[in-house]
Amino acid sequence: MNSPFRYAGGKFYARKLIMEHIPPNHLYYIEPFAGGASIFFAKPKVENNWLNDIDSDLANCLIIIRDRPDELIKGLSGEAATKERHGYYKNEFNPRNELEKAIRWFYLNRTSYSGIMNMQNCYWGYGDKYSMRPENWPRNITQSSRKLQGVKITSVDFEQVIREVSDNSFLFIDPPYFNADQDKFYTHAFNKEDHFRLCEVLREDNSRFNFLLTYDDGPEIRELYSWCKTILAKEWNYTINRTDDQKNGTKEKGTRYKGKEVFIMNYECSKKNGVQLDLLDYASTIDLKKV
């Protein structure tokens, strides 16, 4: 199934490639940088699951979807996807509790350009032909809630998660890019020291678990993770769809791009042994109306 969120830098279009490299036999699945959690929602659910993100508003929305889906659906009932309502939720609406925080976050996420939630760059970006329509939000929330049942959801530093994972777990790790300015996309900065800290904690603890780490490809990353058993350069197609961009005031046609990253694993990987999508036809998952 698809993630309930749009998310800048998410792995929606890369999930088939990623799933091909995930070991099929693991009882504990963890994402220290969950974001939109596209891989969790696409892969078969295992016995134990943990989603973490330092963005507390994102984590809160996941928790409300898991525990109070009917209240979230009721709170969004009757909403229309309009630039005026987007402006209201962004600039005027003042949440009084966790439920209202989730209502605001969900609405803005579903109607903002590329799902960018940094308020300085959170611009109107919805189009009826290319975005999930409000009348479909309840079904999306209900399906997501079912998948999230029993899932641990936290908002703590990634190092705490990695230090606490159970032995023999599998971690899918998708941090911000190493050589890119992420400040305009995310609400929490991730600096070079954080990247080095991530590498160090993985090196120290990696004998206890398997991990697949995705990064922008570059000599610094390859040198940092030269101790890992598998480093693969990967690329995939993705599309930025035509949408109404509040900042520029223009409607742009969809443009195709190449996603290029490196997959880093601390285990020997055979593509044929990877987890398969729990859908009969992967091509059918690329439904741009639901992205």
* 239 occurs within a structural domain: yes
Q: What angle do CA 61, 63, 69 make, to 5 degrees?
A: 80
pLDDT score recorded for residue 179: 76
Residue 157 lies in a domain: yes
pLDDT of residue 235: 76
Number of domains in the chain: 1
**Domain assignment of residue 113, given as a range:** 15-290
Within-domain flag for 9: no
In a domain, 10, yes or no: no
Residue 152 falls inside a structural domain: yes
For residue 189, what pLDDT is reported? 75
Could you tell me if residue 267 is inside a domain? yes
Q: Which residues contact 209 (CB under 8 A, 6 or more apart)?
A: 165, 166, 167, 168, 169, 170, 171
Distance CA 104, CA 157 (A): 24
In this prediction, residue 159 has a pLDDT band, given cuts at 50, 70 and 90, of very high
Inside any domain, residue 189:
yes
pTM comes to 0.85
pLDDT in tens, 196-210: 999 999 999 889 999
In whole angstroms, give the CA distance from residue 243 to residue 261: 26
In the prediction, which pLDDT does 180 show?
Answer: 65
The domain that contains 231 carries what CATH number? 3.40.50.150
The mean pLDDT of the chain is: 85
User: What values do phi and psi take at 241, rounded to 5?
Assistant: -80, 160
Q: pLDDT at position 283, please?
A: 35
φ/ψ of 183, rounded to 5, equals -60, -35
Res. 75: pLDDT tops 60: yes
Confidence of residue 260 (pLDDT cuts 50, 70, 90): confident
Through-space distance between the first and last CA atoms of the chain, rounded to whole angstroms: 11
Residue 4 lies in a domain: no
Identify the pLDDT of residue 119: 79
- Judge whether residue 91 has pLDDT over 90: yes
pLDDT above 80: residue 123: yes
